[in-house]
Structure 1
Amino acid sequence: MSVRHRKTTTLMLVAILLLSVILGCAKQEDTPASTSMNGAANEKSITLSWPRDIGTMNPHVYNPSQLFAQSMIYEPLVSYKQGGKLEPALAESWTISKDGKTYTFKLRKGVKFSDGTPFNAAIVKKNFDAIMKNDKTHSWLGVVGVLDKTEVVDDSTFRLTLKEPYYPVLQDLSVVRPFRFLGEAGFPDDGDTSKGIKKPVGTGPWMLDEYKQDEYATFKRNPNYWGTAPKVDKIIVKIIPDSETRVMAFEKGDLDLIYGEGVISLDAFKQLRDTDKYVTKLSDPVGTRSLLLNSSNPKLSDLRVRLALQHGFNKQAMVEGVTSGLEEKADTVLSKNYPYTNVDLQPVGYDVEKSKALLDEAGWKLPAGGTVREKDGQQLDFELIFDKTDPIQKAMAETIQAEWGELGVKVNLTGLELTVQIKRLRSNQFDLYFWYNYGAPYDPHSFINVIAKKSFGISEVLSALPMKKNLDQQVHEALSSTDETKRQELYASILKTLQEQSAIVPISYIKKTAVYQKKITNFVFPANRDENPFDGIEIGK
Structure 2
Amino acid sequence: MSKLVKLTLAAALATALSPAVTLSSAFAAKTSLIMGMVLEPPHLDPTAGAPAAIDEIVYANVFEGLTRINDKGEVKPALAESWTISEDGLEYTFKLRSGAKFHDGTALDAGDVKFSLDRARADGSTNAQKALFADIKSVDVVDDTTVKVTLSSPAGSFLFNMGWGDAVIVAPESADGNKANPVGTGPFKFSRWAKGSALDLVRNEDYWGDKVALEKATFRFIADPAAALSAMLAGDVDAFANFPAPESIPQLEADPRFKVVIGSTEGETILSTNNAKPPFDDIRVRRAIAHAIDRKAIIDGAMFGLGTPIGTHFAPHHPAYVDLVNAYPYDPAKAKALLAEAGHGDGIKATLKLPPPSYARRGGEIIASQLREVGIDLEIIPVEWGVWVPEVFKGKDYDLTIVSHTEPMDIGIYARDDYYFNYKSEAFNATMANLNAEVNPEKRYALMMEGQKQLSQDAVNGFLFQLAKAGVWNAKINGLWENSPVQANDLTGVSWSD
Which of 397, 407, 415 lines up with 1:439 in the alignment? 407
| Matching of residue 247 in structure 1 with residue 226 in structure 2 | no
Matched, 1:510 2:477: no
Task: Write the distance in 1 (CA, Å) between the matches of 2:287 and 2:477.
Answer: 47
Distance 1:206 1:57 in 2: 14
Residue 375 of structure 2 is aligned to residue 395 of structure 1: no
2:121–2:134 Cα contact (<8 Å) kept: no
Q: Once structures 1 and 2 are overlaid, which stretch shifts more, 416-425 or 476-485? A: 416-425
- Give the TM-score normalised by structure 2: 0.80
Which of 37, 44, 55 lines up with 1:67 in the alignment? 55
Matches within 5 A, 1:98-497: 98-114=87-103, 118-129=107-118, 131=120, 135-138=124-127, 140-182=129-171, 187-188=173-174, 193-194=175-176, 200-209=182-191, 215-240=197-222, 243-260=225-242, 264-297=244-277, 299-338=279-318, 341-343=320-322, 345=324, 347=326, 348-356=328-336, 358=338, 362=341, 374=345, 379-387=346-354, 389-407=356-374, 409-417=375-383, 418=385, 420-422=387-389, 423-424=391-392, 429-440=397-408, 443-444=409-410, 447-448=411-412, 450-458=413-421, 460=422, 462-463=423-424, 468-497=425-454
The list of structure 1 runs, each at least 4 consecutive aligned residues, that deviate by more than 6 angstroms after superposition, is 38-42, 52-56
How far did residue 320 of structure 1 move?
0.7
Asked if the contact 2:44/2:180 (under 8 Å) is kept, the reply is no
User: Bigger CA drift: 168-177 or 268-277?
Assistant: 268-277
1:304 and 1:129, CA in 2 relative to 1: closer, same or farther beyond 3 A? closer
Deviation at 1:357, TM superposition (A): 5.3
Does the C-alpha gap of structure 1 residues 128 and 473 become closer, same or farther in structure 2, counting only changes over 3 Å?
closer
Gaps of 5+ in 1: 1-37, 365-372
Structure 1-normalised TM-score?
0.75
Structure 1 pair 115–300 and aligned structure 2 pair: CA distance change class (3 A): closer
In the aligned structure 2, how far is the partner of 1:355 from the partner of 1:272? 40
Offset of residue 269 of structure 1: 4.4
Identical-pair percentage: 23
Give the 3 Å change call, closer, same or farther, for CA 473–116 of structure 1 in structure 2: same
Aligned to 1:31: none
2:119 and 2:426 mapped to 1: Cα distance?
36
Worse-superposed segment, 126-135 or 139-148? 126-135
The residue that corresponds to 1:48 in the other structure is: 35
Whether the aligned pair in 2 keeps the contact of 1:292 and 1:504 (CA below 8 Å) is yes
Contact residue 65 and residue 165 of structure 2 kept, 8 A: yes
CA distance in 2, matches of 1:99, 1:439: 29
Larger radius of gyration: 1
Q: Does 1:537 align with 2:494?
A: yes
The 1-side partners of 2:360 and 2:191 are apart by 38
Q: Deviations over 1:107-144 (max 9, x none)?
A: 23344445665433233334445555674212632243
CA distance in 2, matches of 1:208, 1:140: 24
CA distance in 1, matches of 2:433, 2:229: 46
C-alpha distance in 1 between matches for 2:323 and 2:417: 28
Name the SS for the 1:142 alignment partner. helix
| AA partner of residue 68 (structure 1) | E
Question: Residues 70-110 of structure 1, C-alpha deviation per residue, up to 9 Å, x if partnerless?
Answer: 22122111112355421211212222334433221122334
Alignment CA distance shift 1:416-1:122 (3 Å): same
SS in 1 for 2:264: coil
Residues 165, 481 of structure 1: 8 Å contact kept: yes
Offset at residue 310 of structure 1 (A) = 1.9
Q: Decide whether the 8 Å contact of 1:142 with 1:172 is kept in 2.
A: no
The equivalent of 1:22 in structure 2 is none
* 3-state SS in 2 of match to 1:87: strand
- Tell me how far 1:249 sits from its aligned partner: 3.1
Kindly tell me: are residues 416 and 513 of structure 1, through their superposed partners in 2, closer, same or farther at Cα, counting changes over 3 Å? same
Unpaired runs of at least 5, structure 2? 1-24
> Residue 8 of structure 1 aligns with which residue?
none
Q: How many residues align?
A: 469
How far apart are the structure 1 equivalents of 2:334 and 2:227?
47
Shift of 1:316: 0.8
Tell me how far apart the structure 2 counterparts of residues 330 and 126 of structure 1 sit (CA, whole Å). Answer: 40
Q: Which amino acid aligns with 2:350?
A: E
Match of 2:78 in 1: 89
Q: Is the 8 A contact 2:42 2:54 kept in 1?
A: yes
The residue type equivalent to 1:415 in the other structure is I
Q: Secondary structure at the match of 1:220?
A: strand
Kindly state the Cα deviation for residue 502 of structure 1 after the two structures are TM-superposed: 1.9
Q: Given residue 456 of structure 1, which amino acid in structure 2 is its aligned partner?
A: Y
Contact 2:127 2:166 in 1 (8 A): no
- 1:218 Cα deviation after fit: 3.6
CA–CA distance in structure 2, aligned partners of residues 206 and 438 of structure 1: 24
Are 1:526 and 1:532, in contact at CA under 8 Å, matched by a contact in 2?
Answer: no
What is the CA–CA distance in structure 2 between the aligned matches of 1:381 and 1:127, rounded to whole Å? 47
Instruction: For CA contacts below 8 A with separation 6 or more, give which structure has more relative contact order.
Output: 2
Summarize the Cα distance change of 1:419–1:411 in structure 2 as closer, same or farther, 3 Å threshold: farther
Aligned equivalents of 2:181, 2:355: Cα separation in 1: 36
CA distance in 1, matches of 2:179, 2:293: 50
- Separation of aligned partners in 2, 1:415 and 1:246: 24
CA distance in 1, matches of 2:350, 2:179: 43
1:131–1:179: 8 Å Cα contact kept in structure 2? no
Once residues 540 and 42 of structure 1 are traced to their aligned partners in structure 2, the CA distance between those partners, rounded to angstroms, is: 6
Aligned-partner SS, 1:73: coil
Deviations 1:458-479, CA, capped at 9 Å, x for gaps: 2x2x34xxxx222222222222
**What is the identity, as a one-letter code, of the residue corresponding to 1:67?**
D
